[in-house]
Amino acid sequence: MPKKGGKKQKKGKKIKDIDWAADENFSKTRSVIYIEHTTECPIFQRKAEEFREFLEAEVPEREFVLIRNGNGKKVPRLGAFEISFSQNARTSQYDIWSGIDKGPPRRDKFPESFELVMPEVRKILKKFYAEAKQEEEED
């Protein structure tokens, strides 16, 4: 007789919960992208990954970590696509895009071009990155 109740466990990737601010994982050259996105449609997940890839191409001297929905600890709002960014894991998190009040259509939830959010990203990197570069030159 089959068991009642309980859900089947989905096979797939388990999200590693890494503390990027901890001494053993911390790097001043690793920026963190926080994206809250709904799971109602795969395009939201794809756009999150595309944004990380775009940043890696635009700023090749930095490493980027993408944290989606608080590593699965946060339930995303319906229709959400929110981008926050921090220069590294020990600096403040800044909101750079909100698609929560945009749309339908769904395409309005995302930046028309990722170039539109680059001025904000560059401002955040410049604010803290100049300090990091100075320290590297002193070493």
Confirm if 79 and 98 have CB atoms less than 8 A apart: no
Residue 3 lies in a domain: no
Q: In this predicted model, what pLDDT tens digit does every residue of 45-69 receive, in sequence order?
A: 999 999 999 999 999 999 999 999 9
> What does the pLDDT profile of the chain (139 residues) look like in tens digits?
444 444 444 444 555 678 878 878 888 889 999 999 998 889 999 999 999 999 999 999 999 999 999 888 889 998 899 999 999 888 889 999 999 899 888 899 999 999 999 999 999 998 765 554 545 455 5
Residue 108 lies in a domain: yes
Confirm if 19 and 70 have CB atoms less than 8 A apart: no
Say what the pLDDT of residue 72 is.
81
Residue 34 lies in a domain: yes
Residue 7 lies in a domain: no
Helix (H) or strand (E) holding 122: helix 118-138
Which CATH number does the domain housing residue 87 bear? 3.40.30.10
Domain with 114 in it:
30-138
Number of domains forming the structure of the chain: 1
Residue 14 lies in a domain: no
Residue 22 lies in a domain: no
Residue 113 lies in a domain: yes
Nearest to 136 by CA among 62, 80, 86, 82: 62
Residue 15 lies in a domain: no
